[in-house]
Structure 1
Amino acid sequence: MAEYIALIHKDAESDFGVSFPDLPGCVTAGATLDEARAMAAEALALHIEGMIEDGEAIPEPSSLTVIMKERENRDAVAVLVPGPTKPARAVRVNITLPEDALHAIDRYAERHGLSRSGMIVAAAKRMMDAA
């Protein structure tokens, strides 16, 4: 898969934010620059996986020149993030959750540009990586 340009930006009172101009809604953040870059790769993979699951076309990456023509992109640092090498096959599962937890998951996922499935996968991966 191709490499996408991620824009990393930081406001004085916030974490490092990451967005992908070619993939609206694909955003993440990290407390440190290294964490933001790692989260960018994870967010990109989950976003593309969700697009494939939904039958959406995956856009070709834009060039740095095209992305930096947009004035709002010029205050960010551009980094290349490799897309997933092989899209994972999505498998439907049935789980049971408390209703309040499901609502909290949905709110969090929406705020961070993730699907419910993407958010659950990201949380599970973080827990497994931390173990």
Structure 2
Amino acid sequence: MKKNLPDRYFYPAVFIYEDGQEIAVDFPDLGVATSGTSEDDALLSARELLGCVMCGLEEDGEPIPAPSALSAIQPKENERVVLVDAYMPSVRLASVNRSVNRTVTLPAWLNAAALERNVNFSQVLQDALKHQLHLA
């Protein structure tokens, strides 16, 4: 990942209101859209989508499009233009902490004993690896 990336991105989003439907949210500069059941839900969905899109562009080394000025977007009667932000340090951290699957081999008797005791295999492996790597 590149150094000197911004902590926040700000992009205009168009909130589109239609009777009996979720609020649609379109990012004209990015060509992506989402929706929400209320204005709060739509804004949260928009922030999450913006963070995911920008993180993907950063990871792929793609150019980051310049955001349009709010005044440059002319909404229709049922639309409102909103400036949406994404705080990238937390988005990037979530991307780094995603889980991965690993296959492990155990003796059958040990597997059976652990299953009898409802052992969480993933947690035990994480704990053991942290201990082994002196990270705990």
Tell me the TM-score normalised to structure 1 length: 0.59
Q: Distance in 2 between matches of 1:9 and 1:18?
A: 6
User: Could you tell me which of 4, 7, 17 is aligned with 2:14?
Assistant: 7
- Structure with the bigger RCO (C-alpha within 8 Å, sep 6+) is 1
5+ residue gaps, structure 2, are 1-7, 103-136
Work out which of the two has the higher radius of gyration on C-alpha atoms and give 1 or 2. Answer: 2
Partner of 2:76: 74
Three-state SS of the structure 2 residue aligned to 1:88 is: helix
User: What amino acid maps onto 1:74 in structure 2?
Assistant: K
**Distance in 2 of aligned mates of 1:9 and 1:3:** 19
Q: Deviations over 1:34-80 (max 9, x none)?
A: 10011111110011111112221111211122222xxxx43411111
Q: In structure 1, what is the equivalent of residue 87 of structure 2? A: 84
Separation of aligned partners in 2, 1:51 and 1:85: 12
How many Å apart are 1:14 and its aligned residue?
1.2
Within 5 Å, give how 1:49-64 maps onto structure 2: 49-64=55-70
C-alpha distance in 2, partners of 1:67/1:95?
A: 44
Percent identical residues: 33
Mapped partners of 1:2, 1:77: distance in 2: 19
TM-score scaled to structure 2, two decimals?
0.57
Q: How many pairs align? A: 91
Matches within 5 A, 1:92-111: 95=101
- Aligned twin of 1:20: 27
Runs of 4+ in 1 over 2 A off after TM superposition: 83-87, 89-96
Q: Specify the code of the residue in structure 2 equivalent to 1:22.
A: D
TM-superposed deviation, 1:94: 5.0
Distance apart, 1:84 and its partner CA: 2.9
Task: Quote the RMSD (CA, aligned, Å).
Answer: 2.3
Aligned residue for 1:125? none
